[in-house]
Amino acid sequence: MALLLDGSDASIARAAAQLARGGLLGLPTETVYGLAADANNAAAVASIFSAKGRPSDHPLIAHIAAPAQRTVDAWREALAPFVQDVPPFALTLARAFWPGPLTLVFRRRPDMCEATAGGLTTLAVRCPAHPLAQRVLQAAQALGVMGVAAPSANRFGKVSPTTAAHVMDEFANQLSDEALCVLDGGACQVGIESTIVDCSRASPVLLRPGMLSVSALSEVLGQAIGGPDAHAPKVSGSLESHYAPDARVQLWPAATLRSAWGALSAAQRAATAIYAPQSQAFQGAVCAHDMPVDAQACAHELFAVLRALDQPDVRHIWVQQPPHTADWAGVNDRLQRAAA
């Protein structure tokens, strides 16, 4: 049975010691909970892949502690143990948005984090904003752990966890308290994974949307951010099918959702869950949840709602397609992959 820890000083010390000895930690961040291990310990990283059932060539994200001073030089020094050739525009992004829900991809130092990078020559790095995550990272750093690999703490391809209870549900019966500790940091504030920007080439390229918008990034940089191309490095969450519950997710345009519902038999409705604004209008659904009309509120609850609707008697989860606007890009990305 995995061990659940609170946010006390003793728990933070226990969590850091767990990482230092090569164990796994359920780590709260502002995006989702991560399944963390020492990013430069190949055996510890291998245990992440094993626990999740994740292919070892699918790269992870390294999470680092924030420096005491948030200057460009301080961020350059914080990145130096892991990566090389850090371009000025990457440091501008780090200074503006770290700690926060932004992951930057760099050319990896050849002697560092090969397992975390899935064998690639690039490494994705993030500085999380959750206060408990920062306390653990600082304490672990004092014990020689320079950073942690931390993909979402769920089985590979399934719905990401946004509470400690979700992590316990995934792994409590699979891993002992020696193998896994879970630090309870409450519900994640953002609720979906970070925005990922490639900084390994001459100009920035968006690799994964999140709640930190391209327009916000571009405004800080004073230049446009490109879209993925054939030369983009492989990153977490880039598979066509991902974030999926056991029930089949189907996305419906608002204009056709109600008419499609009207065509279902009573038995079909009794096996279908609904996630849509004014969900009470869908009579006969086995369960339903109102979708917020605000993108940030929807992102905050999205994975928790998908988990709640994914009940044993539910075969289908019908979701109303959110607007195709920039503020909804991260939510739409997760829903499209869940439905793939």
Q: Quick one: fold of 248-339?
A: Rossmann fold (3.40.50)
Q: What is the pLDDT of residue 232?
A: 84
pTM here is 0.95
Could you state, in order of their start, the residue ranges of all structural domains in the chain?
3-221, 248-339
Quote the pLDDT of residue 229: 80
Q: What is the pLDDT of residue 240?
A: 80
pLDDT at site 238: 76
3-state SS assignment for residue 34: strand
Contact of 104 with 199, CB cutoff 8 Å: yes
Nearest to 121 by CA among 225, 41, 201: 201
Domain 3-221 matches domain 248-339 at the CATH topology level:
no
Q: Identify the CATH assignment for 3-221 out of 3.40.50.720, 1.20.1340.10, 3.90.870.10, 3.30.2000.10.
A: 3.90.870.10
Tell me, what's the pLDDT at 255?
87
| Predicted pLDDT at 234 | 86
First CA to last CA across the chain, in angstroms? 33
Q: From CA 235, how far away is CA 58, in angstroms rounded? A: 7
| Spans in the chain with pLDDT lower than 70 | 177
DSSP run (H or E) holding 220: helix 214-221
Contact by Cβ (8 Å): 205, 232: yes
